[in-house]
Structures are given as structure tokens and as C-alpha cells.
Amino acid sequence: MIVIFGASSDIGSRVARRLLDDKLTVRLVARNPASLDDRAQRLSGDISIAAEITADADIVISCAPSRFTPQLLAALPARVRQVILLGSAWRYSQIQNARADEVRRAEAEFLATSLCGVMLHPTMIYGGAQERNVQRLVAAIRRWPVIPLPGGGQHLVQPVYIDDLSDCIVAATQRAWCGTSVISVAGPVPMPFHEMVRTCIRELGCHRLLVPVPLGLAINLLTLTKWAGLNLPIDANMLRRFREDVNLATLAMQSELGITPRPFAIGLRQAISGWAQEDCG
């Protein structure tokens, strides 16, 4: 029995579909399970009732936010032989941020257990309906003739396509873990943010003017808009992270999970196609 928490997320639903296609027995847990794959057992609930939901589980997968991980770890029965947890590359950030602190705490508590399994730390995830990073960028490119580049877009990013991440989770269920492991999940190579923007522009088939903006100025302007009561879909911490490079090795992702991440241009093409189909639906 494989139990998936956070099953209604884009990642959870993709993982569930793959496991069910392989004829495995899966229990999906979500607050609103009606929309979940009806080939699986579907339960309404969350990690607060993890002990009873996982009483007969062999493998537990959590696609829920990291702040719930300590509660899950404390509730797991002794019979669970493998656990696969979804963290975040925020774990490596030096920017003061509550989300990064939650991921670090979750990782520390996981490593302190006697469980067997892995925690995956994905970088910026793109593709699917629920991510907002690349979707916001694509929407801005479609709407605006001028695209600002905070800090000149020089910082490195390493976005990972959602299906590469879900493939990593599925692969993790097929391995017999001994003790706890932590693996970063990222795109194949880091690239400057401005290159990511240019790739989006090319794939959309349009022309846009890219304008470098000093990062400090961009942060100050965003702070002013917040004071003015404007609710923009970005916060200052997101901009502050533009001071940090994301440059994570994918060796363990490839050697231990057997997943080679796809280039950004290829994944972006698939993501844009998926968004278009959702709009038509």
C-alpha cells in the first residue's frame, strides 16, 4: 500500500497517475478527494490523521508543504518501510524566509529519525496548473512590451520541469532506501535569469524589450506598492533571492533515481502546450 498526502496537488496527482498506471495499490489523501483519480482509494483528510490513514501503509509519500512534515514523521507507524518527502531548494537559501526555515526544520527532523527514505529538494518548478513562477513570467511577456530584469537578470536559476520531479518521486518508490537521504532535484544546468526570460520570449514567438533594473530599487518599489495597499503577486523576499545563484548538482538525481532532467526550452514548450489545453478545457 502506497499512501500519498497532498494528492490533490499537481505533483501528487501526477505521481498517483503513474503509480496507478503501474497497477499499484494507492491511497490518496486530500481535503477534497472528489476530483482525485477514481482508480485509487480516496480519503478526505490531512496529516492530522496520518496515524490511522497509514496504519497499513508500506510506503508513504508526502507532497504536502514542509511545515507539515514533522507532524507526519511523528505519526508514522513502525510498519512503514519507506518514506518520500517533498522539500524545496529554499532549504539552501541564505535569505531570511519562513518557508526556508520550515524546510530546514523538516529536513533536520527527518534526518534524526530511524526511517528509511529520501527528501527531495526541487528548485523552481514549472509546468502544471498550480505553479506561479514561470506562469507569471509568461503572462507578463504576453501582456507587456517591456520586461524589467531585476539586477540585470544575472543571477543563476535552474528550473525543473514538473514531470521530471514527479518521475523522481516515482523512482524513489522503486528503490530500497537504507537510512535517510537528501537529494536535490533541478534542471540540467544553471542559467542566468535573463536567458530564461529570453527563452520564454522565443517560445512565445514575440519580441520584447528587456530593461535591467537595479535590484535595490526594485525591492524598494515593491515595498512601496505594498504600503500603498497594492497586492502584487510577488514579495520582497522573492526579489531578494535574485541576489543568490541556484547552482545544484544533479548527479544524485541521475545516478540514484535514474532521472535526467530535460532542457528548459523543451520543458517550457510542453508547459505552454499544457496551459493552452487547460484554457481550452
Band (pLDDT 50/70/90 cuts) for residue 280 is very low
Counts for the chain of helices (H) and strands (E), in that order: 11, 13
CB 106 within 8 A of CB 66: yes
Is the per-residue pLDDT at 159 higher than 70?
Answer: yes
User: Which residues are CB-contacts of 124 (< 8 A; sequence separation ≥ 6)?
Assistant: 89, 133, 134, 157, 158, 159, 160, 246
* 131, 216 contact by CB (below 8 A): no
pLDDT in tens, 14-52: 999 999 999 999 999 998 888 888 999 999 888 888 999
pLDDT of 153 > 60? The answer is: yes
Give the distance from CA 125 to its chain's centroid. Answer: 5
CA distance 259 to 45: 31
How many angstroms separate the CA atoms of 167 and 159, rounded? Answer: 15
- Cell numbers that stand for 188 in this block: 540540467
Domain boundaries 2-280, corresponding CATH code = 3.40.50.720
Task: Return the DSSP state at 261.
Answer: P
Work out whether the CA dihedral 98, 109, 161, 150 comes out positive or negative: positive
pLDDT at residue 215, rounded to an integer: 80
Give the global pTM.
0.91
Cα torsion angle, 143, 145, 149, 155, sign: positive
* Whether the predicted pLDDT of 272 surpasses 80: yes
Q: What is the pLDDT of residue 87?
A: 97
Question: What percentage of the chain has pLDDT greater than the value 90?
Answer: 73
Torsion angles phi and psi, residue 44, rounded to 5: -85, 125
pLDDT reported for residue 229: 61
> Are the beta carbons of 232 and 222 closer than 8 angstroms?
yes
Q: Residue 161 in contact with residue 271, Cβ under 8 Å?
A: yes
β partners of residue 180 = 117
Cα(252)–Cα(186) distance, integer angstroms: 11
- Between the alpha carbon of residue 206 and those of residues 135, 138, 220, 279, the distances in Å are 16, 11, 30, 20
Residue 79 is given by DSSP the state T
Nearest to 123 by CA among 186, 181, 170, 72: 186
Among positive and negative, which fits the CA dihedral 262, 264, 267, 270?
Answer: negative
Across 68-78, average pLDDT: 93
